[in-house]
Structure 1
């Protein structure tokens, strides 16, 4: 039975995890995340929400050291993490080829994954078409569709980092890389196809030392406005 005390304790645990989490630049190479713990982290990414429920992401876990070395020259923001992280993840997002309202991928999601009846699919198709064409004007450029899908992938990554922090695992999101050059390497390795692009990188592991700086944030009244 859930009690007020249970809820308050859980809230405190969650806030402690947020306080614990920081952008870890270097990890303890001697500590590895267990398979079960990392499966848990990936599961929280898989279960994350997405627009229309179309899950436009893919998580590529790079454990191959030779590939990590190849990425080093084109990922300036991941120099310490590529060398020391227990697990290194590339978060890919689907582009216009898959996310266009009339794509085979969208049909697959409605048919095979969501198992929506035919009449429901027709209605959802029209909603999604209008959303892309006029509500968000996504079809003005291929880049706009990728950026929209990419924003959703950040929701999944945020959930993965939070769930990791709740079990004492450190992480670091990374945008410091040459997108074109990284994607060229991934295509050369047969890792990325034309329907995906790289959104963000993330490293997971256990911190080597204490954070260099204390966590700072603006006060609540600086970032929240209530309209009553």
Structure 2
């Protein structure tokens, strides 16, 4: 496997910014988008439970419905692909069992062989102390996916803008999520920056490394 250099990594991360203006005439190619979809699937999660679903919005009509529910931000309608990050609400033992079955299928072996791991997950996430804030736990997992997606997009030369300025409850209604057991937590616009976006040229504002990193 060929790895990128530290210099390449930092160049891509410095190139990335929260894009304010997308060029609506530019779309992400199928090849690149497939890779970004796979990056979402490959996102790590606690226990590997993947308590989420990622909704990929490309329909112009649906984007227009979501824009008023997003502080009327143009990124929603002007981007190439709009990703809504949702969580599986109130995780159950059934979800854990599906994950255990999938593990046995992919890695070989039997469900019985990993029953101890299954029971540990259930006793923590479904019935343990974490069960009282399991949706908040799932939300944190979704933000791991958001960060992973944005970094992978930058490495592929795709612009993104994380979108917290949205109305999650109303997103849920438009996307018909309550009946499916999912809830919106955040979104991300992806595409290509407009040449007129002045924010693309602005220097990043970060606290000095000495303030935010400490080696112990």
Match of 1:17 in 2: 12
Q: Does 1:221 align with 2:210?
A: yes
- Give 5+ residue unaligned stretches, structure 1: none
Q: Does 1:85 align with 2:79?
A: yes
Q: Secondary structure at the match of 1:79?
A: coil
Match of 1:69 in 2: 64
Aligned with 1:152 (options 129, 133, 141):
141
Q: How does 1:1-228 map to 2 (within 5 A)?
A: 10-76=5-71, 79-96=73-90, 99-100=91-92, 102=93, 104-115=94-105, 117-132=110-125, 133-134=127-128, 137-140=129-132, 144-187=133-176, 193-209=179-195, 210-212=197-199, 213-227=202-216
**Contact 1:22–1:211 (Cα < 8 Å) also in 2:** no
* Aligned-residue offset at 1:192: 6.2
**Contact 1:92–1:200 (Cα < 8 Å) also in 2:** yes
* Aligned-residue offset at 1:125: 2.6
TM, length-normalised to structure 2: 0.88
Q: Secondary structure at the match of 1:177?
A: coil
* Aligned-residue offset at 1:114: 4.2
**Contact 1:24–1:211 (Cα < 8 Å) also in 2:** no
TM, length-normalised to structure 1: 0.83
Distance 1:58 1:118 in 2: 24
Shift >4 Å, 4+ stretches: none
Query: CA-atom RMSD, angstroms?
Result: 2.1
- Give 5+ residue unaligned stretches, structure 2: none
* Aligned-residue offset at 1:22: 0.5
